[in-house]
Amino acid sequence: MKEFNYTITDPQGIHARPAGVLVKEAAKYQSSITVEKDGKTGDAKRIFAVMGLGVKCGQTINVKIEGDDEGKAAKAIEEFLKENL
C-alpha cells in the first residue's frame, strides 16, 4: 500500500471541475484509491464520494492506494494534485 498526505492549495478547495478530473485520473488505474479527510473516507473513482468530503483550501487529505499498479498510480495522483489542487 502507498500512502501520502497533500494539503489543498486551490482557493475553492476540491470543487466540481477538479473533482471530476481527479475521478478520471483515478479510473485509469486498477488499484483501489481512497481519499480521507477528518476520518471520512471516499473512493477517488466516485465523484460524489470525493465531493462529499467537503475539502476546503488549506485542509490536508490522506490518499491511500492499494493494488497491482499502486506505485504508478500513487505517483500520477500525487502529480495531479500538485498541478490542479
Among 4, 10, 13, 15, the one annotated catalytic: 15
Residue in this structure with the C-alpha cell 462529499, named with its chain if needed: 52
Residue 65: Cβ within 10 Å count? 25
List the beta bridge partners of residue 2: 65
The verdict on whether 74 is a catalytic residue reads no
> Residue 28: which residues within 8 A CB-CB, separation 6 or more?
73, 76
> What are the residue ranges of helices labelled H in the chain?
16-26, 47-52, 70-84
Q: Which residues are catalytic?
A: 15
